[in-house]
Amino acid sequence: MVPFLVVPLLVGTGARASAPPSGATATGYGGAVASVDPTATAAGLEVLRHGGNAVDAALAVAATLGVTEPFSSGIGGGGFFVYYDARTGRVSTLDGRETAPRSMGETAFVNPATGQPYAFQEARVSGLSAGVPGSLATWDAAARRWGTRPLSSALGPAAKVARDGFTVDATFNQQVSDNAAAFAQFDPTAKLYLPGGAPPAVGTTMRNPDLAATYDLVARRGIDAFYGGEIGRDIVTTVQRPPLAASPSRPWQYQIRPGGMTVSDLRAYDVRSPAPTHMTYRGYDVYGMATPSSGGSTVGEALNILERSDLRGLDKTQALHRYLEASALAFADRNRYVGDGTPRPVLDSLLTDGFAGERACQIDPAAALSKPVLPGVPDGHYATCSSATGGAAPDKGQSTTNLTVADRWGNVVEYTLTIEQIGGNGIVVPGRGFLLNNELTDFNFTPTQGTAPDPNLPAPGKRPRSSMAPTIVLQHGRPFLAVGSPGGSTIITTVLQILVNRLDLGMTLPEAVAAPRASQRNTASVTAEPAFISSAEGQALAGLHHTFTPMAEIGAATAIEFLPHGRLLACAEPVRRGSGSAGTVH
Protein backbone atom coordinates (compact mmCIF):
# COMPACT_ATOMS: atom_id res chain seq x y z
CA MET A 1 0.00 0.00 0.00
CA VAL A 2 1.28 3.45 -0.88
CA PRO A 3 1.52 5.62 2.26
CA PHE A 4 -1.59 7.77 2.27
CA LEU A 5 -0.55 10.84 4.20
CA VAL A 6 0.37 13.64 1.83
CA VAL A 7 2.31 16.28 3.74
CA PRO A 8 2.35 19.74 2.20
CA LEU A 9 5.77 21.18 1.49
CA LEU A 10 6.24 23.95 4.00
CA VAL A 11 8.75 26.29 2.43
CA GLY A 12 11.09 27.81 4.92
CA THR A 13 10.13 25.43 7.70
CA GLY A 14 13.24 23.79 9.10
CA ALA A 15 13.57 20.77 11.35
CA ARG A 16 14.53 22.80 14.37
CA ALA A 17 14.04 21.59 17.92
CA SER A 18 11.40 23.47 19.84
CA ALA A 19 10.18 23.81 23.39
CA PRO A 20 8.07 20.97 24.81
CA PRO A 21 4.42 21.17 23.73
CA SER A 22 2.34 23.04 26.27
CA GLY A 23 -1.15 21.97 25.27
CA ALA A 24 -3.33 18.88 25.39
CA THR A 25 -4.54 19.24 21.78
CA ALA A 26 -2.64 19.93 18.58
CA THR A 27 -3.57 19.86 14.89
CA GLY A 28 -1.06 19.79 12.06
CA TYR A 29 1.01 17.82 9.60
CA GLY A 30 4.11 15.69 9.37
CA GLY A 31 3.51 13.43 12.36
CA ALA A 32 2.05 13.70 15.83
CA VAL A 33 2.68 12.55 19.39
CA ALA A 34 0.44 12.43 22.44
CA SER A 35 1.57 11.34 25.90
CA VAL A 36 1.06 12.27 29.54
CA ASP A 37 4.29 14.29 29.71
CA PRO A 38 5.58 17.27 27.69
CA THR A 39 9.24 16.22 27.92
CA ALA A 40 8.40 12.79 26.51
CA THR A 41 6.17 14.23 23.79
CA ALA A 42 8.94 16.63 22.80
CA ALA A 43 11.40 13.71 22.55
CA GLY A 44 9.09 11.93 20.12
CA LEU A 45 8.50 15.02 18.00
CA GLU A 46 12.24 15.60 17.77
CA VAL A 47 12.69 12.11 16.30
CA LEU A 48 9.91 12.74 13.77
CA ARG A 49 11.42 16.09 12.77
CA HIS A 50 14.72 14.40 11.98
CA GLY A 51 13.30 11.67 9.77
CA GLY A 52 12.49 8.93 12.24
CA ASN A 53 9.30 6.95 11.85
CA ALA A 54 6.48 6.33 14.32
CA VAL A 55 8.26 3.40 15.95
CA ASP A 56 11.50 5.34 16.42
CA ALA A 57 9.54 8.19 17.99
CA ALA A 58 7.42 5.92 20.18
CA LEU A 59 10.53 4.31 21.65
CA ALA A 60 12.02 7.73 22.41
CA VAL A 61 8.77 8.70 24.16
CA ALA A 62 8.67 5.43 26.13
CA ALA A 63 12.29 5.67 27.25
CA THR A 64 11.77 9.27 28.36
CA LEU A 65 8.59 8.35 30.25
CA GLY A 66 10.73 5.84 32.14
CA VAL A 67 12.56 8.89 33.51
CA THR A 68 9.79 11.42 33.98
CA GLU A 69 6.91 8.99 34.76
CA PRO A 70 8.86 6.33 36.70
CA PHE A 71 5.94 5.32 38.91
CA SER A 72 3.83 4.25 35.94
CA SER A 73 6.36 2.95 33.42
CA GLY A 74 9.97 2.07 32.85
CA ILE A 75 12.31 -0.80 32.05
CA GLY A 76 11.24 -2.60 35.22
CA GLY A 77 7.81 -3.24 33.67
CA GLY A 78 6.08 -4.31 30.46
CA GLY A 79 3.27 -3.50 28.07
CA PHE A 80 1.48 -4.02 24.77
CA PHE A 81 2.52 -2.42 21.48
CA VAL A 82 0.07 -2.13 18.56
CA TYR A 83 1.41 -1.00 15.18
CA TYR A 84 -0.22 -0.07 11.87
CA ASP A 85 2.15 -0.38 8.90
CA ALA A 86 1.18 2.05 6.15
CA ARG A 87 3.17 0.14 3.53
CA THR A 88 1.33 -3.15 4.05
CA GLY A 89 -1.92 -1.86 5.55
CA ARG A 90 -1.58 -4.42 8.36
CA VAL A 91 -1.97 -4.11 12.12
CA SER A 92 0.52 -6.09 14.22
CA THR A 93 1.11 -6.42 17.95
CA LEU A 94 3.89 -7.12 20.43
CA ASP A 95 3.13 -8.76 23.77
CA GLY A 96 5.74 -7.47 26.22
CA ARG A 97 3.81 -8.47 29.33
CA GLU A 98 5.76 -9.43 32.44
CA THR A 99 6.11 -13.16 33.12
CA ALA A 100 5.95 -15.23 36.29
CA PRO A 101 9.15 -17.02 37.27
CA ARG A 102 9.28 -20.77 36.75
CA SER A 103 9.11 -21.24 40.51
CA MET A 104 5.66 -19.63 40.85
CA GLY A 105 2.74 -21.91 41.66
CA GLU A 106 -1.01 -21.48 41.86
CA THR A 107 -0.96 -20.68 45.60
CA ALA A 108 1.88 -18.15 45.40
CA PHE A 109 -0.27 -15.42 46.97
CA VAL A 110 -1.73 -17.59 49.71
CA ASN A 111 -0.08 -17.40 53.14
CA PRO A 112 1.01 -20.96 53.96
CA ALA A 113 0.73 -20.22 57.68
CA THR A 114 -2.95 -19.21 57.51
CA GLY A 115 -4.25 -20.62 54.24
CA GLN A 116 -5.63 -17.15 53.43
CA PRO A 117 -4.60 -14.87 50.56
CA TYR A 118 -2.17 -12.12 51.41
CA ALA A 119 -3.52 -8.60 51.79
CA PHE A 120 -2.96 -6.75 48.52
CA GLN A 121 -0.28 -4.40 49.89
CA GLU A 122 1.54 -7.31 51.54
CA ALA A 123 1.70 -9.08 48.19
CA ARG A 124 2.50 -5.93 46.24
CA VAL A 125 5.43 -4.56 48.28
CA SER A 126 7.61 -7.64 47.99
CA GLY A 127 9.86 -9.58 45.67
CA LEU A 128 7.00 -12.01 45.21
CA SER A 129 5.01 -9.61 43.01
CA ALA A 130 7.76 -8.83 40.48
CA GLY A 131 7.42 -10.45 37.08
CA VAL A 132 10.22 -10.73 34.53
CA PRO A 133 10.16 -7.28 32.85
CA GLY A 134 9.28 -7.06 29.16
CA SER A 135 9.69 -3.40 28.22
CA LEU A 136 13.29 -3.42 26.98
CA ALA A 137 12.71 -6.59 24.97
CA THR A 138 9.61 -4.97 23.44
CA TRP A 139 11.52 -1.83 22.52
CA ASP A 140 14.31 -3.88 20.95
CA ALA A 141 11.87 -6.05 19.00
CA ALA A 142 9.94 -3.03 17.70
CA ALA A 143 13.14 -1.25 16.67
CA ARG A 144 14.44 -4.29 14.80
CA ARG A 145 11.13 -5.16 13.14
CA TRP A 146 9.73 -1.77 12.13
CA GLY A 147 12.11 1.00 13.18
CA THR A 148 14.70 2.80 11.11
CA ARG A 149 17.13 3.33 14.00
CA PRO A 150 18.68 1.10 16.66
CA LEU A 151 17.30 1.10 20.17
CA SER A 152 20.39 2.97 21.38
CA SER A 153 19.18 6.09 19.54
CA ALA A 154 16.06 6.18 21.75
CA LEU A 155 17.96 5.54 24.96
CA GLY A 156 20.54 8.31 24.50
CA PRO A 157 18.19 11.33 24.75
CA ALA A 158 16.31 9.71 27.63
CA ALA A 159 19.60 9.15 29.46
CA LYS A 160 20.36 12.85 29.04
CA VAL A 161 17.02 13.76 30.65
CA ALA A 162 17.82 11.42 33.54
CA ARG A 163 21.30 12.90 33.92
CA ASP A 164 20.40 16.58 33.51
CA GLY A 165 17.10 16.34 35.38
CA PHE A 166 13.54 17.53 34.91
CA THR A 167 11.24 19.72 36.96
CA VAL A 168 9.13 17.98 39.59
CA ASP A 169 5.43 18.72 39.15
CA ALA A 170 2.50 18.27 41.51
CA THR A 171 1.61 14.83 40.14
CA PHE A 172 5.14 13.49 40.65
CA ASN A 173 5.24 14.90 44.19
CA GLN A 174 1.84 13.43 45.04
CA GLN A 175 2.73 10.00 43.70
CA VAL A 176 5.81 9.88 45.92
CA SER A 177 3.77 11.08 48.88
CA ASP A 178 1.19 8.37 48.28
CA ASN A 179 3.95 5.75 48.26
CA ALA A 180 6.14 7.22 51.00
CA ALA A 181 5.57 4.39 53.50
CA ALA A 182 6.38 1.69 50.94
CA PHE A 183 9.36 3.59 49.49
CA ALA A 184 10.81 4.14 52.97
CA GLN A 185 11.24 0.39 53.48
CA PHE A 186 14.02 0.14 50.88
CA ASP A 187 17.32 2.01 51.00
CA PRO A 188 17.75 2.66 47.24
CA THR A 189 14.13 3.79 46.83
CA ALA A 190 14.27 6.11 49.83
CA LYS A 191 17.58 7.56 48.69
CA LEU A 192 16.19 8.38 45.24
CA TYR A 193 12.63 9.46 45.97
CA LEU A 194 12.67 10.53 49.63
CA PRO A 195 15.78 12.72 49.86
CA GLY A 196 16.05 14.03 53.39
CA GLY A 197 13.06 11.87 54.28
CA ALA A 198 10.52 13.79 52.16
CA PRO A 199 9.25 13.70 48.57
CA PRO A 200 10.99 16.02 46.09
CA ALA A 201 9.35 19.42 46.26
CA VAL A 202 7.34 20.80 43.37
CA GLY A 203 9.57 22.97 41.20
CA THR A 204 12.84 21.27 42.15
CA THR A 205 15.00 19.36 39.68
CA MET A 206 14.86 15.58 39.78
CA ARG A 207 17.94 13.72 38.54
CA ASN A 208 18.53 9.99 38.23
CA PRO A 209 22.17 9.34 37.32
CA ASP A 210 21.87 5.62 38.01
CA LEU A 211 19.12 5.27 35.41
CA ALA A 212 21.17 7.33 32.95
CA ALA A 213 24.07 4.92 33.44
CA THR A 214 21.73 1.94 33.00
CA TYR A 215 20.40 3.33 29.72
CA ASP A 216 23.98 4.02 28.57
CA LEU A 217 25.02 0.46 29.39
CA VAL A 218 22.12 -1.05 27.45
CA ALA A 219 22.82 1.29 24.54
CA ARG A 220 26.42 0.04 24.41
CA ARG A 221 25.94 -3.66 25.08
CA GLY A 222 22.38 -4.36 24.01
CA ILE A 223 19.50 -5.84 25.98
CA ASP A 224 21.52 -8.93 26.94
CA ALA A 225 23.02 -6.75 29.67
CA PHE A 226 19.53 -6.69 31.14
CA TYR A 227 18.29 -10.18 30.30
CA GLY A 228 20.88 -12.22 32.13
CA GLY A 229 23.83 -9.82 32.19
CA GLU A 230 25.02 -7.62 35.02
CA ILE A 231 21.79 -5.62 35.25
CA GLY A 232 19.81 -8.84 35.26
CA ARG A 233 21.89 -10.25 38.08
CA ASP A 234 21.16 -7.13 40.10
CA ILE A 235 17.43 -7.53 39.43
CA VAL A 236 17.48 -11.13 40.64
CA THR A 237 19.40 -10.23 43.78
CA THR A 238 16.88 -7.46 44.48
CA VAL A 239 13.91 -9.79 44.05
CA GLN A 240 15.39 -12.60 46.11
CA ARG A 241 16.84 -10.33 48.82
CA PRO A 242 14.94 -7.02 48.89
CA PRO A 243 17.27 -4.18 49.99
CA LEU A 244 15.54 -3.38 53.27
CA ALA A 245 16.26 -0.19 55.17
CA ALA A 246 17.76 -0.84 58.60
CA SER A 247 15.70 1.92 60.16
CA PRO A 248 12.77 2.92 57.91
CA SER A 249 11.56 6.47 58.42
CA ARG A 250 7.94 5.28 58.19
CA PRO A 251 6.24 2.17 59.56
CA TRP A 252 5.04 -0.73 57.38
CA GLN A 253 2.64 -3.28 58.77
CA TYR A 254 3.54 -6.26 56.62
CA GLN A 255 6.40 -8.67 56.30
CA ILE A 256 8.35 -7.99 53.11
CA ARG A 257 8.66 -11.29 51.31
CA PRO A 258 11.28 -12.41 48.78
CA GLY A 259 10.51 -13.66 45.30
CA GLY A 260 11.83 -16.55 43.27
CA MET A 261 12.97 -14.90 40.03
CA THR A 262 16.24 -16.29 38.64
CA VAL A 263 18.71 -15.29 35.94
CA SER A 264 17.37 -18.21 33.90
CA ASP A 265 13.90 -16.63 34.03
CA LEU A 266 15.32 -13.42 32.59
CA ARG A 267 17.21 -15.24 29.85
CA ALA A 268 14.08 -17.16 28.88
CA TYR A 269 11.94 -14.05 28.38
CA ASP A 270 10.42 -13.73 24.91
CA VAL A 271 8.32 -11.07 23.19
CA ARG A 272 5.27 -12.62 21.57
CA SER A 273 3.57 -11.44 18.38
CA PRO A 274 -0.07 -12.56 18.57
CA ALA A 275 -2.54 -11.63 15.86
CA PRO A 276 -4.56 -8.60 16.98
CA THR A 277 -8.18 -8.90 17.93
CA HIS A 278 -10.46 -7.58 15.21
CA MET A 279 -14.11 -6.70 14.87
CA THR A 280 -16.15 -4.25 12.85
CA TYR A 281 -18.27 -1.50 14.37
CA ARG A 282 -20.60 0.63 12.25
CA GLY A 283 -18.28 0.28 9.25
CA TYR A 284 -15.01 0.78 11.17
CA ASP A 285 -12.39 -1.94 11.69
CA VAL A 286 -11.34 -2.03 15.34
CA TYR A 287 -8.03 -3.71 16.20
CA GLY A 288 -6.81 -4.42 19.72
CA MET A 289 -4.60 -6.59 21.86
CA ALA A 290 -5.08 -10.33 22.30
CA THR A 291 -4.31 -12.34 25.44
CA PRO A 292 -2.85 -12.04 27.96
CA SER A 293 -4.53 -8.66 27.57
CA SER A 294 -8.29 -8.70 27.92
CA GLY A 295 -8.53 -5.24 26.39
CA GLY A 296 -9.09 -6.17 22.77
CA SER A 297 -11.69 -8.84 23.41
CA THR A 298 -13.63 -6.93 26.06
CA VAL A 299 -13.74 -3.61 24.19
CA GLY A 300 -14.65 -5.53 21.05
CA GLU A 301 -17.40 -7.58 22.67
CA ALA A 302 -18.93 -4.49 24.28
CA LEU A 303 -18.92 -2.68 20.92
CA ASN A 304 -20.59 -5.69 19.29
CA ILE A 305 -23.30 -5.58 21.97
CA LEU A 306 -23.75 -1.83 21.52
CA GLU A 307 -24.04 -2.18 17.75
CA ARG A 308 -27.45 -3.77 18.37
CA SER A 309 -28.70 -0.35 19.52
CA ASP A 310 -29.01 2.83 17.48
CA LEU A 311 -27.09 4.95 19.98
CA ARG A 312 -27.24 8.02 17.74
CA GLY A 313 -31.03 7.81 17.70
CA LEU A 314 -31.35 7.48 21.48
CA ASP A 315 -31.23 10.22 24.07
CA LYS A 316 -27.91 10.44 25.90
CA THR A 317 -29.21 8.78 29.07
CA GLN A 318 -30.33 5.69 27.17
CA ALA A 319 -27.07 5.60 25.19
CA LEU A 320 -25.03 5.71 28.41
CA HIS A 321 -27.33 3.14 30.02
CA ARG A 322 -26.55 0.70 27.21
CA TYR A 323 -22.84 1.54 27.42
CA LEU A 324 -22.81 0.63 31.12
CA GLU A 325 -24.81 -2.55 30.63
CA ALA A 326 -22.69 -3.69 27.68
CA SER A 327 -19.58 -3.12 29.79
CA ALA A 328 -20.93 -5.28 32.61
CA LEU A 329 -21.85 -8.13 30.27
CA ALA A 330 -18.48 -8.05 28.52
CA PHE A 331 -16.64 -7.98 31.84
CA ALA A 332 -18.53 -11.05 33.03
CA ASP A 333 -17.27 -12.92 29.98
CA ARG A 334 -13.77 -11.53 30.37
CA ASN A 335 -13.54 -12.71 33.96
CA ARG A 336 -14.77 -16.18 33.05
CA TYR A 337 -12.83 -16.89 29.88
CA VAL A 338 -9.86 -14.60 29.32
CA GLY A 339 -6.34 -15.16 30.59
CA ASP A 340 -2.89 -16.09 29.36
CA GLY A 341 -3.34 -19.31 27.41
CA THR A 342 -6.98 -18.79 26.48
CA PRO A 343 -7.37 -20.77 23.23
CA ARG A 344 -7.67 -18.42 20.28
CA PRO A 345 -10.97 -19.98 19.12
CA VAL A 346 -12.49 -19.11 22.51
CA LEU A 347 -11.19 -15.54 22.30
CA ASP A 348 -12.52 -15.17 18.77
CA SER A 349 -15.90 -16.63 19.77
CA LEU A 350 -16.33 -13.80 22.28
CA LEU A 351 -16.19 -11.40 19.32
CA THR A 352 -18.85 -13.06 17.17
CA ASP A 353 -22.05 -11.25 16.25
CA GLY A 354 -24.18 -14.17 17.41
CA PHE A 355 -22.76 -14.15 20.90
CA ALA A 356 -23.10 -10.35 21.10
CA GLY A 357 -26.74 -10.60 20.03
CA GLU A 358 -27.50 -13.10 22.77
CA ARG A 359 -25.82 -10.91 25.36
CA ALA A 360 -27.45 -7.70 24.08
CA CYS A 361 -30.97 -9.07 24.50
CA GLN A 362 -30.46 -9.10 28.26
CA ILE A 363 -30.33 -5.29 28.37
CA ASP A 364 -33.54 -3.79 29.72
CA PRO A 365 -34.05 -0.16 28.61
CA ALA A 366 -36.13 0.48 31.75
CA ALA A 367 -33.73 -0.71 34.45
CA ALA A 368 -30.15 -1.76 35.14
CA LEU A 369 -29.48 -5.47 35.46
CA SER A 370 -28.75 -6.79 38.92
CA LYS A 371 -24.96 -7.03 39.20
CA PRO A 372 -22.84 -8.98 38.91
CA VAL A 373 -24.25 -10.81 35.90
CA LEU A 374 -23.26 -14.34 34.97
CA PRO A 375 -21.06 -14.92 31.93
CA GLY A 376 -22.56 -16.13 28.71
CA VAL A 377 -21.67 -19.34 26.89
CA PRO A 378 -19.88 -18.65 23.59
CA ASP A 379 -20.63 -22.09 22.14
CA GLY A 380 -21.96 -21.14 18.72
CA HIS A 381 -25.60 -21.74 19.63
CA TYR A 382 -27.30 -18.41 20.24
CA ALA A 383 -31.01 -19.01 19.78
CA THR A 384 -32.30 -17.91 23.17
CA CYS A 385 -31.59 -15.34 25.87
CA SER A 386 -31.03 -15.97 29.53
CA SER A 387 -31.16 -13.67 32.55
CA ALA A 388 -28.91 -14.48 35.48
CA THR A 389 -26.60 -13.03 38.08
CA GLY A 390 -23.22 -13.90 39.50
CA GLY A 391 -19.59 -13.34 38.55
CA ALA A 392 -16.37 -11.89 39.86
CA ALA A 393 -14.89 -8.58 40.90
CA PRO A 394 -12.60 -6.70 38.52
CA ASP A 395 -8.83 -6.54 38.80
CA LYS A 396 -7.09 -4.37 41.38
CA GLY A 397 -4.62 -2.76 38.97
CA GLN A 398 -4.43 1.02 38.94
CA SER A 399 -1.49 2.62 37.16
CA THR A 400 -0.05 2.61 33.68
CA THR A 401 0.83 5.12 30.99
CA ASN A 402 -0.03 5.40 27.32
CA LEU A 403 1.38 7.02 24.21
CA THR A 404 0.14 7.51 20.66
CA VAL A 405 2.36 8.33 17.68
CA ALA A 406 1.83 8.79 13.94
CA ASP A 407 4.40 9.71 11.33
CA ARG A 408 4.30 11.49 7.97
CA TRP A 409 4.14 8.17 6.10
CA GLY A 410 0.97 7.08 7.88
CA ASN A 411 2.47 4.54 10.30
CA VAL A 412 0.81 4.47 13.72
CA VAL A 413 1.86 3.23 17.17
CA GLU A 414 -0.51 2.78 20.09
CA TYR A 415 1.47 1.63 23.12
CA THR A 416 0.36 1.04 26.71
CA LEU A 417 3.11 0.31 29.24
CA THR A 418 3.18 -0.13 32.97
CA ILE A 419 4.83 -1.24 36.19
CA GLU A 420 1.31 -1.95 37.54
CA GLN A 421 0.53 -0.07 40.78
CA ILE A 422 1.66 3.54 41.00
CA GLY A 423 5.20 2.94 42.24
CA GLY A 424 5.31 -0.74 41.22
CA ASN A 425 6.46 -2.99 44.05
CA GLY A 426 8.26 -0.05 45.66
CA ILE A 427 11.77 -1.42 45.12
CA VAL A 428 14.42 0.45 43.13
CA VAL A 429 17.15 -1.90 41.90
CA PRO A 430 20.30 -0.72 43.74
CA GLY A 431 22.63 1.25 41.49
CA ARG A 432 20.31 0.92 38.49
CA GLY A 433 17.74 3.68 39.09
CA PHE A 434 14.49 1.94 38.10
CA LEU A 435 11.56 0.52 40.02
CA LEU A 436 10.45 -3.07 39.66
CA ASN A 437 6.89 -3.98 38.76
CA ASN A 438 4.26 -5.68 40.92
CA GLU A 439 2.59 -7.12 37.84
CA LEU A 440 2.09 -10.59 39.29
CA THR A 441 -0.57 -9.22 41.63
CA ASP A 442 -2.71 -9.01 38.48
CA PHE A 443 -3.19 -12.74 38.90
CA ASN A 444 -6.20 -13.78 40.95
CA PHE A 445 -4.89 -14.78 44.35
CA THR A 446 -7.50 -17.52 44.74
CA PRO A 447 -10.14 -18.98 42.36
CA THR A 448 -12.91 -16.52 41.46
CA GLN A 449 -15.18 -18.57 39.20
CA GLY A 450 -16.78 -21.01 41.64
CA THR A 451 -16.65 -24.53 40.24
CA ALA A 452 -15.56 -23.31 36.79
CA PRO A 453 -11.86 -23.01 35.92
CA ASP A 454 -10.30 -19.64 36.67
CA PRO A 455 -8.19 -18.48 33.66
CA ASN A 456 -6.07 -16.08 35.71
CA LEU A 457 -4.46 -18.05 38.52
CA PRO A 458 -0.65 -17.97 38.88
CA ALA A 459 1.43 -20.65 37.15
CA PRO A 460 5.09 -21.10 36.17
CA GLY A 461 6.03 -18.89 33.22
CA LYS A 462 2.48 -17.55 32.91
CA ARG A 463 1.61 -13.93 32.17
CA PRO A 464 -1.07 -12.27 34.31
CA ARG A 465 -4.22 -11.03 32.63
CA SER A 466 -4.13 -7.36 31.72
CA SER A 467 -6.77 -4.73 30.98
CA MET A 468 -4.51 -2.67 28.74
CA ALA A 469 -6.40 -1.82 25.55
CA PRO A 470 -4.26 -0.04 22.94
CA THR A 471 -6.68 0.31 20.03
CA ILE A 472 -6.33 1.30 16.37
CA VAL A 473 -9.47 2.03 14.32
CA LEU A 474 -9.36 1.89 10.53
CA GLN A 475 -11.84 3.32 8.05
CA HIS A 476 -11.69 1.91 4.52
CA GLY A 477 -8.36 0.30 5.40
CA ARG A 478 -6.70 3.51 6.58
CA PRO A 479 -6.20 4.83 10.11
CA PHE A 480 -9.06 6.86 11.50
CA LEU A 481 -8.32 6.85 15.24
CA ALA A 482 -5.78 5.45 17.69
CA VAL A 483 -6.48 5.55 21.41
CA GLY A 484 -5.35 4.07 24.70
CA SER A 485 -5.27 4.84 28.40
CA PRO A 486 -3.89 3.82 31.78
CA GLY A 487 -6.15 2.97 34.70
CA GLY A 488 -6.10 -0.74 35.60
CA SER A 489 -9.36 -2.45 34.76
CA THR A 490 -10.92 0.96 34.00
CA ILE A 491 -8.69 1.10 30.91
CA ILE A 492 -11.23 -1.01 29.05
CA THR A 493 -14.18 1.22 29.86
CA THR A 494 -12.17 4.41 29.25
CA VAL A 495 -11.25 3.32 25.72
CA LEU A 496 -14.78 2.03 25.12
CA GLN A 497 -16.41 5.26 26.35
CA ILE A 498 -14.11 7.42 24.20
CA LEU A 499 -15.01 5.33 21.14
CA VAL A 500 -18.74 5.62 21.91
CA ASN A 501 -18.41 9.36 22.52
CA ARG A 502 -16.59 9.88 19.23
CA LEU A 503 -18.30 7.38 16.93
CA ASP A 504 -21.87 7.50 18.28
CA LEU A 505 -22.54 10.57 20.39
CA GLY A 506 -21.29 13.23 17.99
CA MET A 507 -18.38 14.49 20.10
CA THR A 508 -15.12 15.74 18.66
CA LEU A 509 -12.05 13.81 19.81
CA PRO A 510 -11.04 16.43 22.42
CA GLU A 511 -14.62 16.41 23.74
CA ALA A 512 -14.67 12.60 23.77
CA VAL A 513 -11.47 12.48 25.82
CA ALA A 514 -12.46 15.24 28.23
CA ALA A 515 -16.02 14.02 28.91
CA PRO A 516 -16.81 12.76 32.45
CA ARG A 517 -16.29 9.01 32.76
CA ALA A 518 -18.08 6.09 34.34
CA SER A 519 -16.85 2.51 34.58
CA GLN A 520 -19.12 -0.52 35.00
CA ARG A 521 -17.02 -3.68 35.42
CA ASN A 522 -19.76 -6.10 36.45
CA THR A 523 -19.96 -4.79 39.99
CA ALA A 524 -22.92 -3.71 42.09
CA SER A 525 -21.90 -0.07 41.81
CA VAL A 526 -20.65 1.99 38.87
CA THR A 527 -17.34 3.75 39.52
CA ALA A 528 -17.75 7.28 38.19
CA GLU A 529 -16.17 10.69 38.24
CA PRO A 530 -18.08 13.29 40.28
CA ALA A 531 -18.97 15.31 37.17
CA PHE A 532 -20.62 12.23 35.66
CA ILE A 533 -22.60 11.48 38.82
CA SER A 534 -23.87 15.05 39.14
CA SER A 535 -24.75 15.44 35.45
CA ALA A 536 -28.35 15.30 34.24
CA GLU A 537 -27.60 11.94 32.65
CA GLY A 538 -26.04 10.62 35.85
CA GLN A 539 -29.12 11.56 37.83
CA ALA A 540 -31.36 9.98 35.19
CA LEU A 541 -29.26 6.80 35.25
CA ALA A 542 -29.74 6.63 39.02
CA GLY A 543 -33.45 6.54 38.23
CA LEU A 544 -32.73 3.40 36.17
CA HIS A 545 -31.26 1.80 39.31
CA HIS A 546 -27.59 2.43 38.56
CA THR A 547 -25.72 3.21 41.78
CA PHE A 548 -22.44 5.12 41.81
CA THR A 549 -19.16 5.09 43.73
CA PRO A 550 -17.17 8.27 43.12
CA MET A 551 -13.56 8.26 41.89
CA ALA A 552 -11.73 11.54 41.39
CA GLU A 553 -10.24 10.55 38.02
CA ILE A 554 -10.63 7.60 35.66
CA GLY A 555 -7.90 7.05 33.07
CA ALA A 556 -5.47 9.40 31.35
CA ALA A 557 -5.99 8.81 27.65
CA THR A 558 -3.98 9.78 24.60
CA ALA A 559 -5.29 9.63 21.04
CA ILE A 560 -4.69 10.72 17.45
CA GLU A 561 -7.38 11.19 14.82
CA PHE A 562 -6.63 11.26 11.10
CA LEU A 563 -8.35 14.20 9.45
CA PRO A 564 -8.84 14.91 5.73
CA HIS A 565 -5.93 16.09 3.55
CA GLY A 566 -3.22 14.54 5.74
CA ARG A 567 -3.93 16.57 8.86
CA LEU A 568 -3.52 14.98 12.28
CA LEU A 569 -5.36 15.79 15.50
CA ALA A 570 -3.33 14.77 18.56
CA CYS A 571 -5.13 14.75 21.87
CA ALA A 572 -4.22 14.15 25.51
CA GLU A 573 -6.02 14.85 28.77
CA PRO A 574 -6.77 18.53 29.44
CA VAL A 575 -7.03 17.98 33.22
CA ARG A 576 -6.63 14.37 34.39
CA ARG A 577 -3.26 13.35 35.86
CA GLY A 578 -2.13 16.96 35.77
CA SER A 579 -2.97 17.20 32.03
CA GLY A 580 -1.19 15.55 29.12
CA SER A 581 0.80 16.82 26.17
CA ALA A 582 0.12 16.64 22.44
CA GLY A 583 2.05 18.04 19.51
CA THR A 584 2.48 17.84 15.73
CA VAL A 585 5.62 18.32 13.66
CA HIS A 586 4.19 21.23 11.63
- Kindly report the CA angle at 232 between 229 and 235, in degrees rounded to 5? 155
Classify residue 367 by its DSSP letter. Answer: B
Task: Report the chain's C-alpha Rg in angstroms.
Answer: 23
Please state, in angstroms and rounded to a whole number, the distance separating the CA atoms of residues 510 and 304. Answer: 24
Look up residue 200 and give its DSSP letter. P
CA distance 170 to 184: 20
Query: What's the CA gap between 437 and 241, in Å, rounded?
Result: 16
Alpha helices in 508-559 (DSSP H): 509-514, 530-534, 536-542
Q: Output DSSP code: residue 557.
A: -
Instruction: Let me know if 161 is exposed, middle or buried by CB neighbors in 10 A (0-12, 13-18, 19+).
Output: buried
Residue 132 per-residue DSSP state: B
- Residue 230: φ, ψ to 5°: -65, -35
Contact (CB, 8 A) for 510 and 579: no
Q: 390 near 402, Cβ under 8 Å?
A: no
Terminal-to-terminal C-alpha distance of the chain: 25
> Hey, what's the torsion of the CAs at 184, 190, 193, 196, to 10 degrees?
100
- Cα separation, 572 vs 37, in Å, equals 9
402, 418 Cβ separation under 8 angstroms: no
CA 198 to chain CA centroid, Å, is: 29
Beta strands in 226-384 (DSSP E): 277-281, 284-288
Is residue 400 part of the annotated active site? The answer reads yes
Active-site choice (189, 277, 400, 527): 400
Helix (H, G, I), strand (E, B) or coil at 325: helix
Active-site residues, by number, are 400
